[in-house]
Amino acid sequence: MHKIEKRLTEEAQKEAKEQSKQEYIQQQEYLREISEQNNQIRDTYFKTITKDTSLVDSVVGANSTIEAIKNNSNTTVAGALSQLGIEVAKVPQNVDSLFVKIGDQVKSWKELKESTGYTDEQLLQSLQLAKSAIGEKFVELVNETGQEVVVKIPTFTSGEQHRQSSNIDTF
């Protein structure tokens, strides 16, 4: 009787291990699909952005991209930013008195915030993604003349910056 119990226990353990392995493989496949979908969402946004795209259009598209990846991945905004390689940064103090410069365009933070209806955090995150889409490594908040940089906020995480500079060095 004891041998039969032992054999049944071994078979049950073997079955459980195989089932666990299959669940792990399915989970990996699911995560791979989500990752591919997120890459498509990001690429679609990146294809729409040029240096001539209006600042508001860039920001609105970026915010939509962040939200789409957040929802697709069932994650937080920070999780979506991480997947995009975007630095999670804090909004600087007195940001309402500063201006944003992308390419040749300079707009006040307050004006951008009012025209988009975003919170300070959403606006900063969207600006970071918009700047990254045109290859800029920082969001520069400037004075009203646009000549003096008051605050420089990185667009990419340090890992993403390293990955990009490694890719550039390879070519």
pLDDT of residue 61: 93
DSSP labels, 48-64: H--TTS-HHHHHHHHHH
User: What does DSSP assign to residue 49?
Assistant: -
CA 50 – CA 47 distance, rounded (Å): 8
Q: What is the pLDDT of residues 121-134, one digit of tens each?
A: 999 999 999 988 88
pTM above 0.85, yes or no: no
Higher pLDDT, 123 or 54: 123
pLDDT of residue 89: 92
CA 106 – CA 147 distance, rounded (Å): 10
**What's the chain's Rg over C-alpha atoms?**
23
pLDDT of residue 166: 67
pLDDT of residue 170: 54
